[in-house]
Amino acid sequence: MYLDLEDYKRPATVEQCIDLLGGKGSSAIAGGTYLNVRDHERVARLVDLQALPLRGIERVGDAVKVGALVTLSELVDAAGELGPGLGALVEAARGERNLCTRNRSTVGGRLGRRRGDARVATALAALDAKLELLAADGTRTHVGVTEYLTAAAAPHLVLGVSLRADTRASRYASFAPTVMESPVADAALAIAADGTWRLASGGHGPHGRGVVVLAKASALAGDAHADDWRARFDAAALDELPSFADDRGSAEYRRDLSVTLAARLVAAASNGATPSGGAR
Ligand SMILES: Cc1cc2nc3c(=O)[nH]c(=O)nc-3n(C[C@H](O)[C@H](O)[C@H](O)COP(=O)(O)OP(=O)(O)OC[C@H]3O[C@@H](n4cnc5c(N)ncnc54)[C@H](O)[C@@H]3O)c2cc1C
């Protein structure tokens, strides 16, 4: 129940929208699959994003632009258009198996919660996507996913994301106990046009906020056929994933699982090689 709700607006332009979001007690709503369930009790002014021109997936030069109001289902439907290069984003969207949620929840809403277990955040980090943000003073900036998730809270509106159209290949993998739950661990891998591998894993750190780009593990990815590769890969990846305590005491398990998912993605992408070993 929106017990404190006083006002509802549905602006048609992003400029009107950002003005409205500056008001005390205001909150943006996109698909509502999170806000209608949690964190709405103290919302006094609801700013509905649905009339904004932030829909659609389009090719602009060497970039693919995905609007903030694109739903996870629309990403899945665009699999052919996005191709294997941006496959990780499609697989991350498909990972949301609850169809009601998939049909309503938007890319902007996934990112707007600023959590690392949003699935698409991990895929976007591996793909080195740039988020287009609009600040309260009208300034537009482009930042990476990890930068956005770790920045101090700001009244930014996510307008969309920009991806490299020439990405060679990308994959996403996750594990969640049930279709109703966020992933316990996930990982994504992208291979850029110049052959550079980039791995990311989400849900790390207190409150699951972090998405980590596994730079050292990525540097070892091209070496996956070597006998001692898995041991070196595990050590490098674990070193990059933060160790922390959490309420459920499962943080270490989730670190291990993330490394295994990342190793499997690398092995699968390395000429069909099979990964050696599972979670430690
Ligand atoms: C069954 C189920 C499973 C779920 N699984 C997951 C999961 O695995 N991972 C996960 O992260 N969430 C999960 N959720 C929560 C929710 O579905 C997602 O966070 C969802 O993607 C939010 O998108 P939305 O468009 O519905 O956002 P809303 O609920 O409308 O908004 C969510 C938050 O984002 C802000 N916001 C919305 N759009 C923007 C924008 N363009 N710019 C800036 N801020 C914005 C809103 O102000 C609000 O704070 C799940 C929910 C359900 C019901």
Question: Is the CB of 182 inside a 6 Å radius of any atom of ligand 1?
Answer: yes
Per the domain annotation, does 279 fall within a domain?
no
SS3 183: coil
CA distance 51 to 210: 31
Exposure of 69 in the CB half-sphere (CA atoms within 13 A): 13
Rg (CA), the chain: 19
On the question of pLDDT at 150 being above 60, the answer is yes
Write the pLDDT tens digit of every residue in 202-223: 988 766 678 999 999 999 988 8
Share of the chain above pLDDT 70, in %: 93
Q: At 101, which CATH number?
A: 3.30.465.10
Atom of ligand 1 nearest to the CA of 33: 26
Does residue 278 belong to any structural domain of this protein? Answer: no
Task: Measure 168 CA to ligand 1 centroid, in angstroms.
Answer: 29
| pLDDT single digits (tens) 58-104 | 999 999 999 999 999 999 999 999 999 999 999 999 999 999 999 99
Query: Measured in angstroms, how far is the CA atom of residue 93 from the centroid of ligand 1?
Result: 12
Q: What is the model's pLDDT at position 243?
A: 82
Rounded CA-CA distance 158/176 in Å is 27
Tell me which H or E stretch contains 104: helix 99-104
Structure tokens at 230: 């898995």
Q: From residue 221, how far is each of 127, 172, 239, 265, 278 by CA, in Å?
A: 15, 15, 15, 10, 17
Is the shortest distance between the CB of 32 and ligand 1 below 6 Å? yes
Ligand 1: centre distance to CA 99 (Å): 14
Instruction: Tell me which H or E stretch contains 81.
Output: helix 79-82
Residue 189 maps to a domain = yes
- Is residue 30 domain-resident? yes
Q: Give the residues across from 199 on adjacent strands.
A: 189
Residue with tokens 């490098």: 236
Containing structural domain, residue 141: 57-164
pTM: 0.94
- Say if 2 falls within a structural domain: no
Q: Is 101 in the pocket of ligand 1 (CB under 6 A)?
A: yes
The backbone torsions φ and ψ at residue 119, rounded to the nearest 5 degrees and listed phi first, read 65, -65
CB-CB neighbours of 101 under 10 Å:
17
- Tell me, in angstroms, the distance from the centre of ligand 1 to residue 29's CA: 9
Query: Domain containing 190 — which CATH number?
Result: 3.30.390.50
Site to probe by mutation for ligand 1, drawn from 105, 131, 181 as the one with most ligand atoms within 8 Å of Cβ, is 105
Does the pLDDT of residue 155 top 80, yes or no? no
Looking at the structure, tell me whether residues 160 and 174 fall in a common domain: no
Name the band, by pLDDT with cuts 50, 70 and 90, for residue 13.
Answer: very high
- Categorize the per-residue pLDDT at 274 as very low, low, confident or very high, splitting at 50, 70 and 90: very low
